[in-house]
């Protein structure tokens, strides 16, 4: 194997790593036999009693590698010093994939998220998409909520049930993908979700909780669509909107 191929393989592996933190979350992960674990990280200042004792016991029973760090090093791993409680865990998510994988799909209905900041909204969107007629979610790394314990909790166990395609920004995939209908959700659009004609490849873009779909992303869409509202209601929570899109007729 060449050095270049080895680097690509290693990069592809670590792209699938999601790091979660917090004692209760780590215990839940270790108790779930369906989750593949790469490594457990512990602060060497932890007292080995209570939850920490249980975490170590669960990890050893599953032959999970445990690495000890000083508090600052652990904070760099968890990226949340205030809430990591001295523990973090790397899980291998096969459903967390590079956005380039979309090009290998023949047919799909995807929901893309443009600037969704609220972790609870992200978790509920994941849950709705997992339950509905959606083949995956496109989640940019920039200006978006990250996969975190709050997202895991809000998704209610559905986080790994459908593909989540990661990218740096949405335009990198929207500019490259071919033969695809791309719709931006907008409260001002005259075309509604009931006017959409099913297409073999469709992407529905949901915008930021306050500002909606950004102008740069909207410029790459084929059309803007709205959800008809009654009784003067102006808009819906973005997670509710995702639910309606997820259960549209195919």
Please check whether residues 27 and 133 belong to one and the same domain.
no
Structural domains counted in the chain: 2
Please check whether residues 80 and 133 belong to one and the same domain.
no
Please check whether residues 34 and 102 belong to one and the same domain.
no
Please check whether residues 109 and 131 belong to one and the same domain.
yes
Please check whether residues 137 and 115 belong to one and the same domain.
yes
Q: End of a domain among 92, 109, 133?
A: 92
Q: End of a domain among 92, 115, 131?
A: 92
Please check whether residues 204 and 109 belong to one and the same domain.
yes
Please check whether residues 126 and 241 belong to one and the same domain.
yes
pLDDT tens, per residue, the chain with 250 residues: 566 777 777 877 778 888 999 999 999 899 988 889 999 999 999 998 899 999 999 999 999 999 999 999 999 999 999 999 999 999 988 889 999 999 989 999 999 999 999 999 999 999 999 999 999 999 999 889 988 888 988 998 888 889 999 999 998 889 988 899 999 999 889 999 999 988 999 999 999 988 899 999 999 999 999 999 999 888 889 999 999 999 987 7
The CATH number given to whatever domain includes residue 45 is 3.30.1330.30
Question: How much is the pLDDT for 248?
Answer: 87
Please check whether residues 70 and 121 belong to one and the same domain.
no
Question: DSSP letters of 112-174?
Answer: EEES---HHHHHHHHHHHHHTT--EEEEESTTSPPS-HHHHHHHTT-TTSS-EEEES-THHHH
Domain that holds residue 18: 3-92
Please check whether residues 33 and 157 belong to one and the same domain.
no
* 243 in Cβ contact with 204 (< 8 Å): no
Closest CA to 185 of 250, 130, 240: 240
Please check whether residues 124 and 205 belong to one and the same domain.
yes
């Amino acid at each position: 194997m060449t050095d270049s191929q080895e680097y690509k393989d290693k990069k592809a592996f670590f792209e699938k790593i999601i790091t979660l933190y917090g004692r209760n979350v780590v215990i839940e992960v270790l108790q779930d036999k369906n989750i593949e674990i790469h490594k457990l990280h512990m602060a060497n200042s932890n007292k080995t009693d209570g939850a920490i004792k249980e975490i170590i016991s669960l990890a050893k029973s599953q032959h999970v590698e445990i690495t000890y760090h000083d508090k600052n090093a652990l904070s760099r791993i968890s990226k949340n010093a205030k809430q990591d409680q001295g523990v973090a865990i790397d899980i291998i998510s096969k459903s967390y994939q590079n956005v380039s994988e979309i090009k290998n799909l023949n047919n799909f209905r995807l929901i893309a998220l443009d600037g969704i900041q609220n972790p609870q909204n992200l978790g509920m969107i994941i849950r709705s998409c997992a339950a509905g007629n959606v083949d995956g979610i496109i989640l940019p790394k920039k200006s978006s909520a990250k996969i975190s314990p709050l997202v895991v909790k809000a998704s209610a166990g559905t986080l790994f049930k459908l593909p989540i395609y990661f990218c740096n920004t949405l335009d990198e995939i929207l500019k490259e993908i071919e033969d695809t209908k791309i719709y931006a959700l907008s409260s001002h659009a005259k075309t509604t979700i009931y006017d959409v004609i099913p297409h073999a490849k469709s992407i529905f873009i949901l915008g930021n909780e306050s500002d909606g779909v950004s102008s740069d992303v909207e410029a790459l869409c084929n059309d803007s669509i709205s959800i008809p509202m009654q009784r003067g209601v102006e808009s819906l929570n973005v997670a509710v909107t995702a639910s309606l899109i997820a259960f549209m007729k195919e």
